[in-house]
Amino acid sequence: MTTPSTADNSHMQPEWSARISWADLPANVRSGIEQILHAPVVEAHGQRGGFSPGTADRVRTSTGARAFVKAVGRELNEDSPAIHRKEAAITAALPGTVPAPSLIGTFDDGDWVALVLSDVEGRHPHVPWTRKELTLVLDALFQLSRTPVPPSLEHLPSLEDELREPFKGWSRIRTEPPPAIDPWILQNLDVLEGLADRGLKDLPGTTLVHTDVRADNVMITTGGTAVLVDWPWACIGSSWVDALCVLLNVRVFDPVFDVDSILDSHEVFAPADAGSITGLLSGFGAYFIDAARQQPVPGLPTLRTFQRQQGEAATSWLRSRLQSQ
């Protein structure tokens, strides 16, 4: 694998799935959402980001109230409605101290599922990331790491259980290597598998973990704080894994960003040591590179590209760390 140059990636923009709009929703779904809002929607602005083919609209009602609406039906993607149901249940149970939108209500007719959430006044972080906005996100994750998991969320799966199979991706790549895989990976599979096993052992913990923190799942508010959105994959695990995932996303858009200086300076990484970081990078590399070569997911045409980019970012950073030892 060739590490992408700054010239190629400093202005790279993510590829998101095409979404339907508010106007494309079935009439009964729109009506159900308006009942939750207690007024008709008079304005809707579609938002970019993510991989769901469903709606993502900031709406305003006739009374001036604002909300964020996301809705999807099985015809767009068979699994997405169930994911929305999971997100609704988790979001409703989040403690008020968690930097996340609140759930206003849910519409569910057995086919279409819509979440009506509080509208966050702000925007996604700039990509390539800036150090200032990255710090805001890491501060929010540090706040999350200090928030006790409420009894209503203690049933969430453990991060270790959720990532056990994905972190075995190197063994599957050994058995059936992708055609264009970086020769360095094939030459170092024994080391990479051992590191991923080490990384798996560092996943247990007692913290609420978002597990999918990236630029499009964060809002930077007008008040200068970071809000974490899209919670269907929340788990219980290590307090610093989300923060490492953010740095991985930073490297996707800027491979020469000095992420190691962030590891050394931000308090969210205090519990992590160098071996733990390297182990998790190997695990995430295994996860994303193995996932990226699978068949496209119906309705989510850009997901595999995202996974490839994340995998390349993880392995290039991992390679750099190993070569500097």
* Predicted confidence (pLDDT) per residue in 115-152, tens digit: 999 999 999 999 999 999 999 999 999 999 999 999 99
Q: pLDDT category, 300, cuts 50, 70, 90?
A: confident
Residue 125: cis peptide before it, omega within 30 degrees of 0: no
| 22-119 CATH pick, 3.40.605.10, 3.90.226.10, 3.30.200.20, 3.40.50.10300 | 3.30.200.20
Number of helical (H) and strand (E) elements in the chain, helices listed first: 12, 10
For the CA atoms of 105, 65, 47, 44, what is the dihedral angle to 10 degrees?
Answer: 110
Cβ atoms of 318 and 281 within 8 Å: the answer is yes
pLDDT of residue 52: 79
pLDDT of residue 302: 87
Cβ atoms of 302 and 16 within 8 Å: the answer is yes
Query: Phi and psi (nearest 5°) for 209?
Result: -120, 130
- Residue boundaries of the structural domains of the chain: 22-119, 123-323
Helix, strand, or coil (residue 110):
coil
User: Minimum mean pLDDT among 21-30, 42-51, 194-203, 287-296: which range?
Assistant: 42-51
Q: Residue-wise over 24-53: b if at least 16 C-beta within 10 A, else e?
A: ebeeebbebbbebbeeebeebeebebbbbb
Residue 9 has pLDDT above 70, yes or no: no
pLDDT of residue 17: 57
pLDDT: which is higher, 210 or 301: 210
Which CATH class, in words, describes the domain spanning 123-323? alpha beta
Q: Which two tokens stand for residue 75?
A: 């015809």
Which position has the token pair 């992420």?
259
Residue 64 has pLDDT above 70, yes or no: yes
Residue 230 has pLDDT above 80, yes or no: yes
Q: pLDDT category, 15, cuts 50, 70, 90?
A: low
